[in-house]
Structure formats: C-alpha cells, structure tokens
Structure 1
Amino acid sequence: MSSGEPGPVELSIREKLNVVLNPVELTITNDSWQHRHHTAMKAQGGGNGETHFSVNVVSEAFRDKSTMQRHRIIYAALSDELAQGLHALSLKTKTPEEINSAASA
C-alpha cells in the first residue's frame, strides 16, 4: 500500500502466522505493486493492492518438516485470504537451527 501502513490482508497474514507458527522471526513484504500490470490484476482493476507477498518466517514448528510440508502449513493457515484474492506468496521457511548454521558457516 502506498501509505506504508499494512493493509487488512497483510495484518491478517501476520496474525494467523503468529498464532499457527509462533515464529522467532516473521517478515512480510507486500510485492503487489510489482504485479499490477498482470492480466489477472488488470481484470480486478489493479487488484486491492494486497495480492502478492513475500514471507520470511523462522519457526520451531518447521522442525523435521520438508519445504513442501512447511509451505502447506502456511497455505492452510491462509486459505481464506487465498480464496478472497491473495494471488501469490513467495515463502522462505527456516528453523532457528537452520539460520544459526548458515550464520556460522
């Protein structure tokens, strides 16, 4: 959104992921402005400004889960948003140990 304030979709994503994942780190970036020219977004009049997000989340909930399983947890948590116009998520999902190993390498 142009004001820099998070919109209702972003706030909902943040709230739901905090509840489901209890993350150590959660960064949500609204990338919708980069996609406003896409055909699907033009059909929606440019969209509501909250259609594409990048999500970086670090959580113990991802321990012993594959990348696919981690993404499924997030997609399940955000099923309402996806049904109501959230078009795309770019996900980075790590455990705290994975972050620590990368930092010490």
Structure 2
Amino acid sequence: MTNDTKGPVATAIEQRLTDALAPVQLSVLNDSAKHRGHMGDDGTGESHFTVEIESAAFAGQSRVARQRMVNNALADLLRDHIHALAIRATAPGE
C-alpha cells in the first residue's frame, strides 16, 4: 500500500493476494475517500480499492482469467466488505 495506515480490509486484501498468488509486486490503494457519500460507501472508509499486482501466476492468462484469480482470492471480502475493486494484473516482464 502507499501509506502506513492500513485498515483491516486493506490488510486482508494484501494478505490473501500474497497467499494465493505470491506476487512479486503488490499495491493495494484505498480509493474510498473519493467515493464518500456515494452509493456503496458504507462509512468504514474501506469500501473502494485499486489493486496493482504482478505475479508469475498470471503468465499465459487472459485479462479476464487474471481478474477471476484475484476475485476468487477475495471472494468473501467482495461479498461482505468491498463495494468496488479495480484490478491491474500483470505477469513479470509485461
């Protein structure tokens, strides 16, 4: 993440993606402040995120397959805590 204060949802995103996809680079950006008061803002300050992830697991996979891999790793968080997730998934060397 880009700052030192990670909330529980951002921490969980980071841990689950690390466990599932062994990324060589991972950035979890909390975009929630940009959406304050909008639909999906649950007031926690952790509802909207951007994930930038580079992993060898994505090699040879389509963009849709990569997004599904990320979504599968975060399934219950997406269901219960995350309103919006932007994903930038690449393989090393891309």
Q: Normalising by structure 2, what TM-score?
A: 0.91
1:43-82 aligned at under 5 Å gives the runs 44=42, 47-82=43-78
Where do 5+ consecutive residues of structure 1 fail to align?
99-105
* Structure with bigger gyration radius: 1
1:39 and 1:77 map into 2 onto residues whose CA distance is 25
Structure 1 letter corresponding to 2:52: N
Instruction: Quote how far apart the aligned CAs of 1:83 are.
Output: 1.4
| Runs of 4+, deviation exceeding 2 Å | none
Q: Of the candidates 71, 78, 85, which is equivalent to residue 89 of structure 1?
A: 85
State the superposition RMSD in angstroms.
1.4
Percent sequence identity over matched residues? 39
1:4 and 1:92 map into 2 onto residues whose CA distance is 22
CA contact (8 A) 2:9 2:81 kept: no
Structure 2 letter corresponding to 1:38: H
Structure 2 letter corresponding to 1:48: T
Where do 5+ consecutive residues of structure 2 fail to align?
none
Aligned partner of 1:24 in structure 2 is: 24
CA contact (8 A) 2:47 2:84 kept: yes
Structure 2 letter corresponding to 1:64: G
- In structure 2, the residue corresponding to 1:10 is in which secondary structure? helix
2:31 and 2:7 map into 1 onto residues whose CA distance is 13
Instruction: Quote how far apart the aligned CAs of 1:4 are.
Output: 5.0
Aligned partner of 1:101 in structure 2 is: none
Q: How many residues align?
A: 92
- In structure 2, the residue corresponding to 1:80 is in which secondary structure? helix
Q: Normalising by structure 1, what TM-score?
A: 0.82
